[in-house]
Structure formats: C-alpha cells, structure tokens
Chains A and B, each alone.
Chain A
Amino acid sequence: MSLNIIVLAKQVPDTRNVGKDAMKEDGTINRSALPAIFNPEDLNALEQALKLKDENPGTTVTVLTMGPGRAAEIIREGMYRGADGGIVLSDRAFAGADTLATSYALATAVRKIGNFDLIIGGRQAIDGDTAQVGPQIAEKLNLPQVTYAEEIIEAKDGKVTVKRRLENGVETVRAPYPCVVTVNGSAAPCRPRNAKNLQKFKYAAAPSELAQDDARKPLIEKRPFLGIGEWNAEYVGADLNQCGLAGSPTKVKAIENVVFTAKEARNVENTDQALEELIQELIVNHTIG
C-alpha cells in the first residue's frame, strides 16, 4: 500500500566540527565559519522514509523544514537521495522560536499538507540537542508518537512496527498511523545521492532562491516538480502570538561562551595535582561530566 510520508528536517550549523577558526578571539562562536549541514539524525529519518518508499510502491516522501530560504538546500539534498519534493516554512515571525513555538509552526504546516500517514524526523538536532520538537508536534496534532526509533520494520494495515533503541536494550512497538516517529542516530545511515535524481532535481529551487537568480524560472514553469514550496505564517494560518519569540515560554536569560584555549599544546605534568586540575577544568567547561 502506498503511503504519504512527511520527513521533518533541519539545516543546522555543524557544531561537531568546531575547529580553530570557529571560535573568535574573544571566545564567542563564529557562526559563519561553521558549515550548514543536513541535521545528521534527520538523514537517518529520511533513510527510514525512503526504505518504506522502496517497500511500498507509490509512496511519496515530502521533506518539510523550517528556516531561512537557503534551507531549500537540504530539500534539494533530500530530493537527490530519493525524496519527491519539499517545503520550506519560512517567515521572520518564526525567528527566535523555542521548541514549543517551533513545533507549533511545523504542526500548522503539517495540517496544511493535510494528507499524510507518517511524520518521520530525527530524534534531535545537533545545535540544540533537545529532542522535543517531535513529541511536541505529535501532541499538537493529537497523534501517537514513537521516539528513539532504530528501525521502522514495516507499515502495514494501518499500523507501523518500530524497533526502539533505549538505554539498556531494545523495544519493539506497534502504533496505529498517522503517527510521529523520531529516529535515533543508531539507525541505518542514509543512502547517498542517486546520479539520476541529481540530474533530475539539480535545478529545483524555492521562490526566494529564484528571487535572487531567476535563470531557473522558465525551466521550473515547464517542470513543476522542480518547484520547492515556500510557505509563510499567513499561508499556513499560524497564530502569530504562538510563533517565534512571542510564542516561546522559555527565554534565554544568559549565555556564557565556553572559552577554548588557543590551539597550542599545554603541557600537563604527570602529577596527581596537575591531573586532578585538568579533570576539574574539563568538568567546569562541560567537556566531560
């Protein structure tokens, strides 16, 4: 049976790759030096969706992301790997959103898409590591949720069977769909780009990308599947009081940068006192512990 799957994805700064030039001299983050990437666990989620598409011919996979217009990059990336298309949810009104305001906005977009069986996303994004948006979307849409998924074993007869990876073992659950599944990093890695898809979707673009360079416009008019959707708050009918900073119950009171020592080796003496001080330093700056 064919399925309609929405994959939730986020374009994130590569916080795992904080190298020498990623920190400014004053110890703050130089965000522009961090490459923007497809959130790793969202790629695991995409793979689960594409696997279901392989197993259930006729299935469509739509990538939904919230972010600036350039986030269309990850939708194209998803299309190169096998997704059918995607939508960027983009509006200044969404800026400064915490997880609750983010899930509210995404839930309104999911409602606008309307016809879906499964919403699959990564467990968490590496810039926040909260793992909250998936369950919160499920709650907003009044759907069951299955978190920490390692494998979606099958989707059959209105039910999805999922293997979950927990702290001390695994659990297999069966949930009726529509439902929300969030996928763990321990799941199968995403398949690479497919050469045919790369050819097919190379010129896919979102409206804000075309506004900067309209060379692709005539082509997209001829081939509508190359159009990446770009929706704003008004289009999805979002209540602005629940979006962005205004809709966020949590506020950031203070930010303290973890100042990294310059990349010059510090010799730590092989004495009890020096080693204990090293450990204390690593605990204080949250490297360990």
Chain B
Amino acid sequence: MSEKNNIIVYCEYEDGRVADVSLELLTKGRQLADKLGVKLQAVVAGDNLKDIEKQIFPYGVDTIYKVQDSRLYPYTSLPHSSILINLFREIEPRIAFMGATSIGRDLGPRVSSALHSGLTADCTALEIGDHKDPKTGTEYRDLLYQIRPAFGGNIVATIVNPECRPQMATVREGVMKREVRDSNYVGEVIDLDPGKYTSPEDFVVEIIDRHVEKSKVNLKGSPIIVAGGYGVGSKENFELLQKLAETLGGEVGASRAAVDAGWIDHDRQIGQTGVTVRPKLYIACGISGQIQHIAGMQDSSIIISINSDPNAPINTIADYVITGKMEDVVPKLIKYYKKNSK
C-alpha cells in the first residue's frame, strides 16, 4: 500500500493523553480504511511525545507522523496548520479527520482553505458511498459521505467533496464509538523535522496564560434545557436535573417558584422576569406552566413535560407529556440516553 491516498487523523494531545475524540476518530477511520483497502495514518504535533505511539497504534494505525517541538505545545493555529498543510501536500490523503473541538475547529478551516479542499464541520455520521453529479452526470466511486444536521437542526444534510482532496470532516467528542482494534498492533513511526514543516513566522502568537475557569451560566445559548418547578420538591431533586442536563449536554433552568423556594440560583430563572430561551429541547419537570413561565420558553422547538398532574397547564403546549413523578422518570431518561447514545 502506498503512503498516499490514505486516511489520516489529527490527534490532539494534552497532559500526556491523546484526546478521546481523536481515539474515536481513529476507530471510525480504521473501519473506513478497511472498507477502502487503504492505510490509517495519524499525525500528532506537540511536546513530550515520547511513547505516544503506544496510545495510538492499538486503534489499528499503520503510520504515525510525529512532530516534536516545545513550541508546538500548547496548540496555536499557525504552526499546527503549517504542519498539516505541508504534510498533506506531500502524502495527499484522501480523507482527513479532526475533532470538532476548539482546536479542530480552529485548525480544520485554515488547512482546508490552504489546500482548497472541502471541510464539513460537526458530522454526526461518516460513510463511504458513490455519487453521481446531477448536472454533469459524472460518477464518483467511494466518496466520503459527511452527514450532519444543519439549519439549526431542522434538516440533516449529506455532503460530499467530489473533486477536492483531502475530504475533511470534524466530529464532536462522544459521537463515534471508541474501540481498540488490537492491543498488539504496531505500525511505523515517522519523525518529521519541525523546522521543515513550520516557519519562524508561524510562532507570532504568544500564549500569556491558560487556566481552568468555569463558564458563566449561558441559558440562552444552550440547545437543551432541563427546567424544574415547584413540583421538583427539593434541592436534592434539582441535582437529579443537573445530572440529566450534564448527560444531554444542556443547562438547568427553573421556574420562579423553584427559585423563590431557594432550590436554585436566580440566574437560572426562565420566564418573564428571568431569561427567555428558545432551545431545541426543553424538558419541564414539575412545572405547572404559569403564563409568566410559558412566555419565556414557549418558542422552544420541542417541549417535554414531566408532571404528576396530567392536567398541568404546561401540557397544553408540550409535544410530549409524561405523567409521573420526576424522581422516577429523570433517572430512567439518563439511563436510556447513556444506553442509546453511542
């Protein structure tokens, strides 16, 4: 098999660990490489990369391109882009994946622009298939189908890059399954000279400070909101809602009654006197649905109401109504999401 025309995954690396999202992409990459009969390659750039191949090879990786330089960690856009641009010009991969993280979504577009190759962000499925151009009638074999929701999640689009290479895609963490191919799998490590793949001008952006800091509550920007009302009954039960929100990747909100009861902070209040939200999914738990609350959430795309009262007013604007105690229903939703999400 040649060094060209393969599948390559850009691996993120922090604190001695290859990022989960990169390992998930290697797993997907291996499946697609088998289907196409090509190699799976990985590229990693950073500092302290000794033995990193031990974490990567088990996913069935045939070639690892390693670029070791203290200036390559922490990540900055320009040198990492230059490495990929120069390497991809050399080895001409047919497909390149990176995580839809703050790194991958910074790096991917820059690389795709330089190579004039198409990039599809935040794919939820990746498949191999054929394509016929509806206008010219030209047929293309074995393209990458890049499947993603678009238009605020109201449509699902399948994107292809018929002519340009590599076909690039980013995928969020947790979307693909992660599976070791063979813990004894060993491929080849190729060390690249950082001086050859980057230029001194690539290092003009300095990182002054990096630290862990929790973000402020951002109810408005959250696509999923799990909200609780007076029916939640206690501070402890709100922790259950927090757990559901974390599992689904959303935020916790509340009605005024729950805030007044002291079960949750005021900055999470939704409604006329709180914030107005329009998430894709609003799960209302133990919220009766006073007009003041409804005014702040009625434009949500999908509303699920969990309430022990089948006649709660909120049920009239809900898409789904579950009649029952939230203490019973919420843990089951968490359980079945975890079971079905991968």
- Which of A's residues lie within 8 Å of B, judged by CB? 13, 15-19, 23, 29, 98-100, 103, 126-136, 138-140, 144-148, 161, 164-176, 185-186, 248-258, 260-261, 263, 265-270, 272, 275-276, 278-280, 282-283, 286-289
Contact = CB atoms under 8 A, between A and B. Distances in A.
B94 to A, nearest CB: 14
8 contacts: A99-B119, A128-B151, A129-B121, A147-B106, A170-B213, A255-B157, A265-B321, A286-B149
B261 to A, nearest CB: 25
B91 interface: no
B319 A250 contact: no
Given A132-B108, A275-B332, A172 B207 contact: yes
A268 B320 contact: yes
A173 to B, nearest CB: 5
Given A16-B278, A173-B207, A252 B340 contact: no
Contacts of B119: 99-100, 132, 250
Interface in B149-200: 149-164, 175
B269 to A, nearest CB: 18
Given A132-B109, A287-B302, A146 B205 contact: yes
Nearest to A257: B155
Interface string B291-306: 0000000010110110
A29 B156 CA distance: 12
Contact of A139 (B113, B122, B152, B301): B113
A29 B151 contact: yes
B158 A254 contact: yes
B218 interface: yes
Contact of A173 (B109, B110, B118, B205): B205
A176 B205 CA distance: 7
Given A16-B278, A139-B114, A248-B118, A176 B204 contact: yes
A280 B340 CA distance: 7
6 A-B pairs with least C-beta separation:
A15-B152, A249-B118, A250-B118, A270-B324, A132-B109, A249-B164
B133 to A, nearest CB: 8
A135 B341 contact: no
A132 B122 CA distance: 11
Interface string B100-127: 0110011111101110111111101000
Nearest to A256: B156
Given A267-B321, A279-B336, A29 B110 contact: no
Nearest to B301: A18
A7 to B, nearest CB: 19
B16 interface: no
Contact of A135 (B109, B131, B221, B333): B109
A185 B218 contact: yes
Contacts of B280: 287
A148 B103 CA distance: 10
A255 B156 CA distance: 6
B208 A252 contact: no
Nearest to A288: B248
B49 interface: no
Given A144-B77, A171-B207, A251 B321 contact: no
Contacts of B113: 100, 103, 135-136, 139-140
A134 B121 CA distance: 14
Contacts, number: 246
Contact of A289 (B101, B102, B215, B341): B341
A251 B146 CA distance: 10
A106 B161 CA distance: 22
Given A15-B154, A131-B109, A266-B319, 5 more contacts: A29-B155, A171-B209, A172-B210, A266-B321, A288-B248
A272 B102 CA distance: 37
Contacts of B336: 272, 275-276, 279-280
A99 B148 CA distance: 15
Contacts of A270: 322-324, 328-329
A278 B335 CA distance: 12
Contacts of B117: 249
Contact of A148 (B106, B210, B316): B106
Given A147-B106, A175-B205, A253 B154 contact: no
Given A132-B121, A250-B160, A126 B152 contact: yes
Contacts of A269: 322
B162 to A, nearest CB: 6
Given A132-B112, A251-B162, A253-B160, A147 B77 contact: yes
B110 A186 contact: no
B321 A135 contact: no
A157 B337 CA distance: 52
Given A147-B102, A288-B248, A252 B159 contact: yes
B243 to A, nearest CB: 15
A78 B236 CA distance: 46
A268 B321 contact: yes
B224 interface: yes
A165 to B, nearest CB: 6
A174 B118 contact: no
B6 interface: no
Contact of A131 (B121, B157, B321, B323): B121
A169 B211 contact: yes
B38 interface: no
A249 B248 CA distance: 34
B204 A175 contact: yes
Interface in B234-272: 248-249
Chain A CB within 10 A, most for which of B122, B154, B211, B321: B154
